[in-house]
Amino acid sequence: MGAIAIALFEMRGPPLPPDCGYLSLHLAFCLASGGMCWGSSFLLQKDYKVHTRIVAEILKPEYDCLFGLACTDVRNSDVWEQLTKLYDDISRYFHPIRN
């Protein structure tokens, strides 16, 4: 997961807009290598473009505090709030796709 986090961080902001398609492809392969696309996983039936909206969400400036986190940073209430918000958004996005 470190490589995708670095790639996401490097693609942020000016002067070039992020290439969400390229980052979605990397995210899809990262998830697949981590076992998220095995067996009956709904992601197995989708192509990498299903992740484009998630990548665009992660790249929003409001999630800047999530890049380069140390384990102790998760105890920060602002960081925890942003993690929870991002988790909920990802869940809401994938719920109809999963069903």
CA distance 17 to 1: 22
CA distance 7 to 3: 6
Q: Rounded to a whole number, what is the largest CA-CA distance in the chain? A: 41
Q: What pTM did the predictor assign?
A: 0.71
CA distances 46 to 6, 15, 40, 94, Å, are 24, 32, 12, 11
> What are the structure tokens assigned to 49, written together?
């473009």
pLDDT in tens, the chain (99 residues): 556 666 666 666 554 457 888 899 888 888 888 777 677 678 777 888 889 999 999 989 999 889 888 889 989 999 999 999 999 999 999 999 888
CA distance 83 to 69: 11
Q: What pLDDT score was predicted for residue 15? A: 44
CA distance 16 to 86: 24
Helix axis angle for 20-33 and 2-10, nearest 10°, is 170
Q: What pLDDT score was predicted for residue 10? A: 62
Domain ranges of the chain: 2-98
Q: What pLDDT score was predicted for residue 13? A: 56
